[in-house]
Amino acid sequence: MDFEQDYIMRMIKQMIRALAVVIFGKKFQEDEIEEAWTTEGGMNEKELMKMADAGRINEAENILLESLDTSRKSDLRAALIFYDHINDFSDDFLEEHNYSREEIKDGIKSVVEDFGMMDAVGAMLE
């Protein structure tokens, strides 16, 4: 079971990295987070990640998704970084806080689709 979950975790991470290269033309790392991206309520990427770190993953995701502007690539970048961050959580932590790796994959697919990038990168998300 652990091997299977580790495999899924690695596959999600590789998928995010590949999407970043295709969409942005370069890899990104979580330590590159810029506080320039903010929600309508004034929260930035780091604050959303702190919420997720505290187990408020669903709440942080909802704030992120409600704040995305599909005309700005920086918002897509923020979403991919967020999903990359929560993908690093252990399966136990995700389960404790009513979240799953499947929800991470679904969230990424949904965001990519919202940004109209599914034709360009859809095969990577299968």
* Tokens (6 digits) for 70: 């599909």
Separation between Cα atoms, residue 41 and residue 62, nearest integer Å:
12
Task: Provide the domain count of the chain.
Answer: 1
Whether 16 contacts 28, CB under 8 Å: no
If you average pLDDT over residues 80-106, what whole number do you get?
Answer: 92
| 41 compared with 70, residue with greater pLDDT | 70
Give 2-52 pLDDT, tens digit per residue.
656 677 777 777 777 777 777 766 666 555 555 455 656 566 788 888 999
What residue numbers bound the domain in which 6 lies?
2-125
Task: Please state, rounded to an integer, the average pLDDT across all residues of the chain.
Answer: 80
What was the pLDDT predicted at 121? 58
For residue range 54-63, what is the model confidence (pLDDT) as tens digits? Answer: 999 999 999 9
- Residue 57 confidence (pLDDT): 97
Q: What is the pLDDT of residue 52?
A: 96
What phi and psi values does residue 38 have, to the nearest 5 degrees? -135, 155
pTM of the model: 0.79
Strands (E) located in the chain: none
What share of the chain in percent tops pLDDT 90?
29
